[in-house]
Structure 1
Amino acid sequence: MESLHTNGISLPRLGLGTFRMQGETCRAAVESALALGYRHIDTAEMYGNEEAIGAAIAASGIARSELHVTTKVWHENLAPAAIRTAFDASLKKLRLDHVDLYLVHWPSRQMNLPAIFETLMKLKEKGRTRAIGVANFTTALLKTVVEEIRAPIACDQVEYHVMLDQSKLLTYLRAHAIPLVAYCPLAQGRVAADPTLIAIARKHNATAAQVALKWLLDQDGIAAIPKASRAESQQANLGALKVRLDDADRKAIAALPKDRRCVSPGFAPAWD
């Protein structure tokens, strides 16, 4: 598995997203993914599945050094003391002595960015997280974190897929050598029914989802974390790595509408 190297960590470019996976279903899914060769597992405090993921990791017998585990602090817990409490709880549930990447899950309108990143940096300095980063941060918010606070951001995790334009954000991230980790890379399943993607998939003896995933992974500085609870889906996502898109495919995908945002809760920032 190819990896992105960012702020001292190696981030496998294809990981497993676990949002809305719970309990035994989540544990079985993570065990399956690890058995298939996945080494990048993404979770969050808010998902309520860190215990199940911790159990799956413990049962796998895979060396900790071979795994990349990301978790996140919820936007209601961004005061320094609340971050520390949330982090301790996440680590205990995951049964780990450190995570590889700890993210601010969503920005908050009341947040004190310097205080947040001072707290995250202390966790990093103590070796409790190997790297820190953000999720759902706009270009304007990133500028504050990167240029004013000068925090060593390892990624921005945002929604990104063939139906959503993120060119402005990508321009900024690439200028600062910060990877984008794409969640909802299959537009919550919508890519499977798209006629353009289906036609490209037929040409390559692939699926529309594999085409959409490979389109992302062909781009510099992009990792993707599709959610997949079944082993068949996890294997199919790995199969996307073998698809070879050509210029005609990319041109057809570029012509698709790019205004389909799947995730935009009421507390979301004003998107770029």
Structure 2
Amino acid sequence: MQDISRLGFGTYENDDPEQCTESVRTALNVGYEHVDTAQSYGNEAAVGDGIAESDVDGEDVFVATKLSTENLAYDDAVESAHESVERLGVDSIDLLYVHWPINTYDPEGTIEALNDLHADGVVDAVGLSNFRIDQLDAAIERLDPPLAAHQVECHPMLPQEDLRAHAVEHDYALVAYCPIARNQVADVPEIQAVAEKHDASPAQVSLAWLLSKENLVAIPKATGEAHIRDNWGARDLELDAEDIETIDGIDEHHRIVDFEAAPWNQ
């Protein structure tokens, strides 16, 4: 698996430029090294400003972004990736994902664009997001560089066992968005019990559970400093085998991000 910091900083819906810049700057100063954004979030420039204004050397920050579903045709993918580089203020994008295999996604043209962007040094690694396993396999066959990451919703109520196994088999990172289920984990009795046992927050328990899994990376989003620091504290939470078994045994399974055109509904 590529060397990706296993607890990253998500910026979904952090679309107020001033707030986004402040959040990214704070997260990097707290210790995060991996920042995740997307063209569709409309905040790449603010993310870039946060990196530039932090106390961290920009070269030490792992920056991931995603191609919009409207920018997946070959020419649009190439052009918009260069635009993302400019907005982020980086020399190259550390990890570029296909955000969703819908709308303008073309298994041939989109993957060819990723191959060429990688060969030209515009992106250092390529990723996919929200793909079914059959779509992953088809894309992996076309990719020249190894797949670095696959980003999906993943949390204790959506443990994604099959996709986790696929990530281990093919040696890429499974990157969990919504890793605290938009704080729904706070209402789950099993997670509440483990949190009380360790004097930790439910969010920390959910993140620590994800980090206990092979090839898992989590990218919780946050805006305020207290929330940013609380999530970061998950790195110091050591769950024992009983804790992990308790969380693995949660019966309630559901998605948060779901819509008719999503790949798993086709």
Choose which of 213, 226, 230 in structure 1 pairs with 2:224: 230
Number of equivalences: 265
Structure 2 match to 1:249: 243
Query: How much has 1:170 moved relative to structure 2?
Result: 1.4
- Structure 1 stretches (4+) deviating beyond 3 angstroms? 147-151
For 2:4, what is the secondary structure of its paired residue?
A: strand
The letter of the residue matching 1:97 is: D
> Unaligned regions of 5+ residues in structure 1, if any?
none
Structure 1 match to 2:10: 17
Map 1:152-231 → 2, pairs under 5 A = 152-231=146-225
Query: How much has 1:151 moved relative to structure 2?
Result: 5.1
The letter of the residue matching 1:28 is: E
The letter of the residue matching 2:5 is: P
Q: Is the 8 A contact 1:145 1:151 kept in 2?
A: no
CA distance in 1, matches of 2:47, 2:255: 28
Q: Is the 8 A contact 1:101 1:129 kept in 2?
A: yes
> Unaligned regions of 5+ residues in structure 2, if any?
none
CA distance in 2, matches of 1:24, 1:137: 33
- Taking a change above 3 Å as real, the CA distance of residues 148 and 132 of structure 1, as seen in their structure-2 partners, is closer
1:157-212 per-residue CA deviation (whole Å, 9 max, x = no partner) reads 00000001311111122111111000000001100122211111111111111111
Task: After superposing the two structures, state which structure 1 stretch, 66-75 or 104-113, moved more.
Answer: 104-113
What's the TM-score once normalised by structure 1's chain length? 0.93
Structure 1 match to 2:67: 73
Q: Is the 8 A contact 2:48 2:89 kept in 1?
A: yes
CA distance in 1, matches of 2:115, 2:143: 11
CA distance in 2, matches of 1:75, 1:194: 34
1:46-87 per-residue CA deviation (whole Å, 9 max, x = no partner) reads 000011111111112532321100000011211011112211
Q: Aligned-residue CA RMSD in angstroms?
A: 1.6
Task: After superposing the two structures, state which structure 1 stretch, 40-49 or 261-270, moved more.
Answer: 261-270
Structure 2 match to 1:89: 83
CA distance in 2, matches of 1:212, 1:111: 32
Q: Percent identity at matched positions?
A: 38
Choose which of 143, 146, 153 in structure 1 pairs with 2:137: 143
Q: Is the 8 A contact 2:155 2:179 kept in 1?
A: yes
Query: How much has 1:149 moved relative to structure 2?
Result: 5.0
Structure 2 match to 1:119: 113
- Taking a change above 3 Å as real, the CA distance of residues 271 and 213 of structure 1, as seen in their structure-2 partners, is farther
For 1:154, what is the secondary structure of its paired residue?
A: strand
CA distance in 1, matches of 2:144, 2:45: 33
